[in-house]
Amino acid sequence: MRCLNAIGLGACIWVAMSVTSALAQDDGSSNLPELTLEEALVRTVSSNPGLVAVGFQIDAAEGRLTQAQIPPGPELDVALQDLLGRDVHRGVRSAEATVSVAWILERGLRERRVSAARAGVALSNVDADIARLDAAAETARRVLACLAFQDRLGNALEAVRLAEETVAAVRERVTAGSALEAELARAEAGHARAALNQENYEHELLSAYHRLSAQWGETVPDFAAVAGDVAALPLIEPFEALLARAEGNPELARYMSTRRLAEAELRVAEAQSRPDWRASAGLRRLEATDEIVLVGTLAIPLRTSGRNLGRVAEARADIARTEAEAAATRIEIETALFVLHQELNHNLQLAAGLRDEVIPRLETALADTRRAYELGRYGYFEWSVVQGELLQANNDLLEASIAAHEVVIEIERLTGVQAALPPEAQRGAP
């Protein structure tokens, strides 16, 4: 099974499964294909509008690197001396013309600036990875929302079917004179409520499709349904294994890149504490003797105490702040990971209990109650109560399954790696 790990997120628990949308399409869109999670992620990473700005940030950082690599340009200096005076200096008879080229001796400063610019490029790339991961995680959430509304609509359609059967059974008894008209009215009201609930999920599902399409800049969905199976519950790794992977959190990776940038900026600030030297060399023509001589200068600024102490202190404080923020983030990640793991186990236990214990018994009870109603042993009230309990249990199972998948997405967003075991490992699990 190919997972989101291929592009930065390991959250494709349901991508190998397939489910048909229960939504009836009357506008011809039923001819459109199903959309898989993997396809949605590829579209997101390649066309998400929010990721466009990230690319420009990288371009800007690379531009700063290119600029840092350019050495200072030389300067051409032309000087005229001893002209337009009196006597011997009258006119240009004693003039001296000097043409020289000057350049700055950076003494390692440019190399440090280049290192800082490279660290900035690395940080921009980490930010881009985080942005892509966030976009992929949001797409996974929206895919899950589509799957959830598809299944909710399926449950609503099942409720409508049961309500139709109930109305038919109650009408038969009313016609036979063994039930009151009030029971038929209640059954028909229940059917109307179920139909309204179906309509609600139909428009919610359509909105979910549009929200998903917006992830890659489309305003009209080009798919008829989303493929996946919410009922396929994930088998998560032990908490200790997830905790060991917490160091792969992209936010921690960003702090590492931020620290490298701060250290490079510190070296630049320290280098700037040493003033640049300025050297020049050229030729001077002496008009009086018609000679050309070689001249040269070396300008060494006088050192002043504390010339760049403020920037050095600022860079060191940035390094310390980055380390403190990384430590605080690591604690937050580990705590959130523990809470999410507990929540996931709770949802999995709830879903398993509903699926294996509650729903089978309610299905048996519903079948028995319906037979008893048809035989006149139970009234409409008893039948409708059991029917409602079964529908609610199915809805509770669906919501617990959805919540489990939501937690898995968040765990994988925290760790940056796939948290659910692959299907072959799940088959071998006890």
Rounded to the nearest 10 degrees, the angle between the axes of helix 109-176 and helix 359-374 is 20
Residue 422: its pLDDT value, please? 44
| Angle ∠(365,371,375) on CA atoms, nearest 5 | 140
Q: β-pairing, 96-105 with 277-286?
A: antiparallel
Q: How far apart are CA 280 and CA 265, in angstroms?
A: 30
Say which amino acid occupies 73: G
pLDDT tens for 270-281 read: 566 666 666 677
For the chain, what is the radius of gyration of the CA atoms?
37
Residue pair 119/260 in contact (Cβ under 8 Å)? The answer is yes
Residue pair 142/208 in contact (Cβ under 8 Å)? The answer is yes
Residue pair 395/351 in contact (Cβ under 8 Å)? The answer is no
Return the bridge partners of 236, or none. Answer: 420
Helix (H) or strand (E) holding 57: helix 49-69
**Both structure tokens of 381:** 């009230």
Q: Residue 136 CA to chain centroid, in angstroms?
A: 5
Domain boundary assignment for the chain: 4-71+106-273+308-428
Residue among 21, 23, 2, 22 nearest 13 (CA): 2
Neighbours of 429 (CB within 10 A): 7
DSSP-derived secondary structure letter, 236:
B
Q: How far apart are CA 373 and CA 165, in angstroms?
A: 13
Residue 420: its pLDDT value, please? 55
In the numeric block, the tokens 């396929």 are attached to: 232
Say which amino acid occupies 294: L
Does the 4-71+106-273+308-428 domain belong in CATH 3.40.190.10? Answer: no
Residues 6+ apart with CB under 8 A from 407: 340, 343, 344, 347
Q: What is the dihedral of CA 219, 220, 222, 223, to 10 degrees?
A: 100
Q: How far apart are CA 255 and CA 233, in angstroms?
A: 34
Q: How far apart are CA 52 and CA 135, in angstroms?
A: 12
pLDDT tens for 312-344 read: 777 778 778 777 877 887 888 888 888 888 999
Quickly list DSSP for 164-187: HHHHHHHHHHHHHTSS-HHHHHHH
Residue pair 5/37 in contact (Cβ under 8 Å)? The answer is no
Residue 82: its pLDDT value, please? 60
In the numeric block, the tokens 């186990």 are attached to: 345
Q: Please provide residue 36's backbone torsions phi and psi, each rounded to the nearest 5 degrees.
A: -95, 160
Residue among 149, 145, 152 nearest 392 (CA): 152
Helix (H) or strand (E) holding 296: strand 291-299
Residue 15: its pLDDT value, please? 33
Residue 424: its pLDDT value, please? 39
Residue ranges for the chain with pLDDT beneath 70: 1-30, 73, 79-97, 103-110, 248, 253-279, 282-283, 285-290, 293, 298, 300-308, 417-430
Residue among 250, 145, 235, 296 nearest 425 (CA): 235
Q: How far apart are CA 242 and CA 233, in angstroms?
A: 18
